[in-house]
Structure 1
Amino acid sequence: MHVHDQQAHDLMELVFAFTAERMAMDPPPLDFSVPFAELQAQAGQTITAEGLGGTEVMRLFEEVLGPACLSIDHPRYLSFIPAAPTEAATLFDLIVSATSIYGGSWLEGSGSVYAENQTLRWLADLAGLPDGAGGTFVSGGSIANLSALAVARTVWRDVDPAREERRPLVLLSSAAHSSNAAALALLDLRSQPVEVDGADRMTAAALRTALDSLTDAERESVCAVVATAGLTNTGTVDDLSAAAEAAAELGAWFHVDGAYGGAALCSTTRRHLFAGIERADSLTIDPHKWLFAPYDCAAILYREPRLAKRTFTQHAGYLDVLTETDDWSPSDYAPHLSRRARGLPTWFSLAVHGTDAYRDAIDITIATTEAATEVIRATDHLELVTEPELSVIVFRRTGWDRDQYWAWSEQLLADQIGFVVPTTWRGETVLRLCITNPRTTLDDVRACLPD
């Protein structure tokens, strides 16, 4: 065996041993965020001219760098949007890297594109999109939403060449995810916020008011209506049917941001909340949020993929071999060219476990959310802020100010009990739990509630 081969073998053994040990942990360590100065003192300079060797670098990661990263698959990681990848998805992520698959074109990765497209088809079927629907996997909801709005802008401008010099308008909820605002800024689009109700939901009445307030010139300028199927902060689902009607009235693109909540299309008890989603021109769903995939994996789906292809296909002499065919190349459906086959871990897990297992896992998290909601409702010093719809619970601890919330949150993590950070709701500091891990139990939630 050559020296190089021996080194590769030793590294493989180190990585496999670490992976096996980490995946056997139940639960994994929650761990901490560590200040820069402390990391600098413990890790020092890791990139050197001679190299530190595999054993030392793995030691640094296991003992210093890894424990400085919170485990988002911990059952008491209840902040932001947690992730709980299946073992199958995690392991296949290793294979995706080990096989050096290029996922940007059919020519170079037809097998991976075929598998990814079956996963996208499953998502499209959940939403009720037509047979021709399709898209690609991107890094996250931010890029997916950006992609959708870029296509909406192209479609709007295609109607009249004179529109090329004008800034189109987008109607969206005033509570919509911040990625939408970022996409609007990057695409130089104007926004028309739609007011929300007491649960941060965009309603039919609010949409009607917004539409009636538009001038004729503004109505003609609307390129898209954006609705949210599961707000990150409250879990609320907009009135998707009303949003679809508004888009149809304006002749505008209808985009649904279901990055977090779209997974509940699997649910046996929440599917009714998504009525109207089948009318979407584009749809975002992130498997790395509530569909048990490792980061990073977000799906962008289009009712008519040819419109996305017109927007994103790059042309160059060396790309003619790709662009002059009818093959399905994922690089044509988002602002990427080079691309990892990031949808394969989700495909593998779905193929291994079956879609019924996904349905059951989603139902478990919703049942835990319902039970936790009743505990909060029955606790004198806790008070619900909004009624949960999916798996997000927003509540207050009566009598606390912002500093008390933060002090409690920091102590909870310092004691390695759980990870729950405050959020802001209409200017008030409150608490928020998001349950997307089927291993999270009611006892886990109880341990993370303030006294």
Structure 2
Amino acid sequence: MSLALEWAASHTTVATDPKTTARSAADLQAEVGETITEGGIGAVRAMELFDEVLLPATRSSEDPMNLAYIPAAPTRAAVAFDTAVSAANVFGGIWENGAGAIFAENQVLRWLADLLGWPADSAGVFVAGGTSGNLSALATARDHALRTRGRRPDRGWALACASTAHSSVSSAARLLDMDVVTVPVDDQGHLTGGALEHELAADERICAVVVSGGTTNAGIVDDIASVVETAHRHGAWVHVDGAYGGAALAAPSVRERFAGIERADSFIVDPHKWLFAPYDCCALLYRDPRPAAAAHSQHAAYLDAIDRGESNPADLAAHLSRRTRGLPLWYSLATHGTAAYTAAIERCLSSCRTVARAIEEAEHLELLAAPELSVVVFRRPGWTPADYRRWSQRLAKDGTLLCVPTAFRGEVALRLAFVNPSTDPQAVIEVLRTTMLEADGS
């Protein structure tokens, strides 16, 4: 036990690097061998293997030069407190077991609800990730539609979203036996109420609309206000997937992009993406939590004694057992204050704009879209898909920069996601200048 605690304490502030160090299972098996044995291998050997072999075979998510996918940059306070949460071992499903911890989580959820402009009786819960949050919110929407409309459509339920919606939306639809109606986006990639109008008028099956509060691929925020107005006029639930971009609600410089979100029905944001919390953590909120409670509350003989008058997280999502995963974010917010969070998010936005300007001014690079939040999408004219892959892999193996190819408007491109306030934009610009001047990615 002491070995594990000492390791955790020493690594709370350890430096990271952006190398890609994944190894094959066969390679790891050869070096690690069998660790689950009848007699055990002992704490010293287990920790040695973890520290010297297993952990080095993972990729750092929090390094300032990790700009691939949507990385994570948890505060040291949040990382340290995650150990405390594990040690406390609180059951966070019902108030009776986890009252104090749930109370603290609810203060964070209230802060988020205030950023949304939602009423005092709105409520939410922390779940594992955006996929879980989207699934629970859409299950609520489907159940609410059945209760309000009184019947299931002959051809079943459907949800509407843009083609740029996160993959978890279509995954949730499959699990919920809902069809997906894809709505065309405008020239800038936004889902709008005007485009949605035709689909809603023509298809009674659509009971929910998913709008993006910052697409993962390009950081695009849909036209939330017009979507909400159109969807509500047709009796459809509006869910905002802000898994990545929802954190920008705390940034005054881009807050206007989220106009209309105060009238949405549900919302998610992943604090492990851009609110500086460790994995895993998704905040799921409902403007009116009653439909969620109707959809998700579990009832059984041994659950009859639960006080339904208090906040029971198990009532608001597809789960019962849960750890109080919102506490590391609570501790970090309580420690640093919300103003520090606003400043950190604004710093990421500023870094993104600085790099985007440099790309736009570079003769050998092409900016594909002006960034709306903190994602830059660009290309190197003349490069083939193989060139992009070769360049990306070389920098990853050298530990210089993590940036992976993507697809944008039908062509191969590169994207940089700025969610770490420690990222130096000038260092990123220098890497792009010195490594992409060649005619190919060699």
Name 1:298's counterpart in structure 2. 282
**In 1: Cα distance, 2:103 partner to 2:170 partner:** 33
The answer on 1:261 being equivalent to 2:263 is: no
Amino acid at match of 1:127: L
Q: Return the offset for 1:269.
A: 0.4
In the alignment, the residues of structure 1 paired with residue 404 and residue 56 of structure 2 have an alpha-carbon distance, to the nearest angstrom, of: 19
- 2:175 is aligned with 1:186: yes
2:21 paired residue number: 32
Equivalent residue, structure 1, for 2:228: 244
Aligned residue for 1:60? 49
Q: Is the 8 A contact 1:157 1:164 kept in 2?
A: no
Matches within 5 A, 1:304-383: 304-322=288-306, 325-383=308-366
Distance (Å, rounded) in 2 between the aligned partners of 1:423 and 1:339 = 34
Q: Distance in 2 between matches of 1:105 and 1:147?
A: 17
Whether contact under 8 Å (1:207, 1:242) holds in the other structure is no
Tell whether 2:167 aligns with 1:167. Answer: no
Give 1:195 deviation, angstroms: 0.5
Identity %: 48
2-side partners of 1:404 and 1:31: how far apart?
A: 18
**Consecutive unaligned residues in structure 2, runs of 5 or more:** 437-442
The answer (yes or no) to whether the contact 1:22–1:28 under 8 Å persists in 2 is: no
The gaps in structure 1 that reach 5 residues or longer are 1-10
2:439 — aligned with what?
Answer: none
Runs of 4+ more than 4 Å apart = none
Aligned to 2:37: 48
Q: Does 1:399 align with 2:388?
A: no
Letter in 1 for 2:380: R
TM-score, scaled to structure 2 = 0.95
CA positional deviation for 1:165: 6.2
2:132 corresponding residue in structure 1: 143
Residue 432 of structure 1, aligned match among 415, 420, 426: 415
Q: Residue 288 of structure 1 corresponds to which residue in structure 2?
A: 272
Aligned counterpart for 1:419 among listed residues 396, 402, 405:
402
Shift of 1:333: 0.5
Letter aligned with residue 151 of structure 2: A
State the alpha-carbon separation in 1 of the partners of residues 150 and 354 from structure 2. 55
Instruction: Provide the residue aligned with 1:126 in structure 2.
Output: 115
User: Match of 2:126, SS?
Assistant: strand
| CA RMSD between the two structures | 1.5
Q: Is the 8 A contact 2:133 2:282 kept in 1?
A: yes
Q: CA deviation at 1:79?
A: 0.6
Q: 1:29 to 1:56 in 2, by over 3 A?
A: farther
What are the superposed Cα offsets for residues 332-388 of structure 1, whole Å, 9 maximum, x if unpaired? 100000101000100111111110000000001001001111111111111011111
Q: How does 1:385-396 map to 2 (within 5 A)?
A: 385-396=368-379
* Residue identity opposite 2:350 in structure 1: A
Q: Is contact 1:417-1:447 (8 Å) kept? A: no
Shift of 1:447: 4.7
Matched, 1:202 2:185: no
The Cα offsets for residues 157-184 of structure 1, whole Å up to 9 and x where unpaired, read as 0124332765122121121111000111
Where 1:24 maps in the other structure, the secondary structure is coil
Q: Does the Cα contact within 8 Å between 1:75 and 1:444 map onto a contact in 2?
A: no
